[in-house]
Amino acid sequence: MRRRELVGAAVLLLVAVGYFIAAGDINRSALGDEVGAAGVPVVYAATLAGLAVALAVKALVAWRLNGAATRADSAAGSRDSGRKRARTGRAAGMLGIGIAYLAVVVFAGYLLSILAVIALVAVYQGERIGWRLAGISVGGAVLFFVLFDVLLGIDKPAGVWPMLLPGS
pLDDT in tens, 1-57: 467 777 888 888 888 888 778 777 766 655 455 555 656 677 777 888 888 888 888
Handedness of CA 3, 8, 9, 13 (dihedral sign): positive
Q: pTM of the full predicted structure?
A: 0.53
Please state which of the ranges 16-25, 109-118, 141-150 shows the lowest mean pLDDT.
Answer: 16-25
How does 94-121 read in b/e, with b if 16+ C-beta sit within 10 Å?
eeeeeeebeebbeebbbbebbbbbbbbb
**Cα gap 118→98, rounded to integer Å:** 11
pLDDT in tens, 46-103: 888 888 888 888 878 877 777 644 444 555 555 566 677 777 777 888 888 888 888 8
**Cα gap 114→104, rounded to integer Å:** 10
Task: For the chain, give every domain's residue range.
Answer: 1-67, 86-168
**pLDDT computed for residue 39 by the predictor:** 67
**pLDDT computed for residue 118 by the predictor:** 92
